[in-house]
Amino acid sequence: MKKKKVLLAFSGGLDTSYCVKYFIHEKGMEVHTALVNTGGFSNLELQKIENLAYQLGAKTYHSIDGSRDFYNHIIKYLIFGNVLKNNTYPLSVSAERIFQAKALAEYAKAINADYIAHGSTGAGNDQIRFDLVFQLVAPELKILTPVRYQILSRREEIDYLSKWGIKKDWEKSKYSLNKGLWGTSIGGIETLTSHEPLPEEAYPNHLMATEPTTINLTFEKGEIIALDGKQTEPVKAIQLIDKLASEYAIGRDMHTGDTIIGIKGRIGFEAAAAAIIIKAHHTLEKHTLSKWQLYWKEQLANWYGMFVHEAQYFEPVMRNIETFLEDTQQFVSGEISVVLRPYSFEIQGIKSDHDLMNSDFGDYGEVNKAWTGEQVKGFIKILANPMKIYQNVNGKL
């Protein structure tokens, strides 16, 4: 009989490595593996993952380069919205999982797979993101998740792989890292507590540079188009900024939030480029957008980030919010200077042809040019009227 074909979302980690062997030896399946690179893997790392897939017995391995599509469909709007979950987390992993799941489901259909699988556990958000998107994009495929249903310990998975001759030193991977264009998430024993910080060894980048340096970011209609005056496309700019800032160990933090399944979760992350770009972009917006544009952007962007995080990316309202966010970026163009220091950065200032401070109406705290003192006095009197009326009717409060 012809073997059933399964496409496995393969990262090269312990869980997905276990899945390859399980499908081959316990289910008699033909295993095809695929990885969607959202900008976090080097060519050497991708080659190592491919080698492992074939060592495990996979029939095929396929690497899907999705960094530009990931930027165009998701990251761009996270920047437009200055999205930080709980004012902290730039959605480094949750955003890319949606895109990865979509690309994997499309590839599974292209190779005529009978099943699609992932290695998520039953205690996290990723199982929901993968399952939900798989159901939307490839509803005809049955989803297999052996790690979720078997509830195996890390030791049991290692022992199972050893039984089949896979002797890789899995114990070296003390921390779980998920690398992407928009940052790296870090999970470990400390993130299961509420009080322990991640040790230095947990972070993928370490302090290498100590002398402050200044970089200049150029935005055009909300998108980063140049670094230090050199034109580049946004994905490359993000990667260059990340490389520079990571030498200063910038972008480290811990995020605690509400998971989709209703429990609290804590995770560490390192997202140097995301931290700098969002802060720089937001600063430029403060100079170029109106008071109410800034207000409504913040409201809708919070919703947008929450929906991305909770696997609601394909809800139709998301396209409406994206249209709004993009429309607000018409005059968000200019250059921002940023000083990089060990473990921190500072926005120095901005230059923009659309800077609303560059007006002839007045200099804040200094000179009023477009109105007189008497006009201000009358304005204040009218502004106070509603409160005066309320107090007149209801008494002093």
- Residue spans per domain, the chain: 5-172, 178-351, 362-394
Give which of 356, 333, 324 is closest to 224, Cα–Cα: 333
Rg (CA), the chain: 25
One pLDDT digit (tens) per residue for the chain, 397 residues = 678 999 999 999 899 999 999 999 999 999 999 999 998 888 999 999 999 999 999 999 999 999 999 999 999 999 999 999 999 999 998 899 999 999 999 999 999 999 999 999 888 899 999 999 999 999 999 999 999 999 888 889 989 999 999 988 776 567 888 889 999 999 999 999 999 999 999 999 999 999 999 999 999 999 999 999 999 999 999 999 999 999 999 999 999 999 999 999 999 999 999 999 999 999 999 999 999 999 999 999 999 999 999 999 999 999 999 999 999 999 999 999 999 999 999 999 999 999 999 877 767 777 788 888 999 999 999 999 999 999 999 987 6
C-alpha–C-alpha distance, residues 98 and 310, integer Å: 10
Q: Which of 301, 164, 180 is nearest to 238 (CA)?
A: 180
Q: Note the Cα 378 to chain centre separation in Å.
A: 49
Q: Is the separation of the CB atoms in 247 and 112 below 8 Å?
A: no
H-run or E-run covering 219: strand 213-220
Selection from 101, 4, 43, 166 nearest residue 313 by Cα: 101
Taking alpha carbons only, the member of 337, 339, 363 closest to residue 350 is 337
Question: Which of 3.40.718.10, 3.30.930.10, 3.30.300.20, 3.40.50.620 would CATH assign to domain 5-172?
Answer: 3.40.50.620
Residues with Cβ < 8 Å from 247, sequence gap 6 or more?
205, 207, 208, 209
Architecture of domain 178-351: Alpha-Beta Complex (3.90)
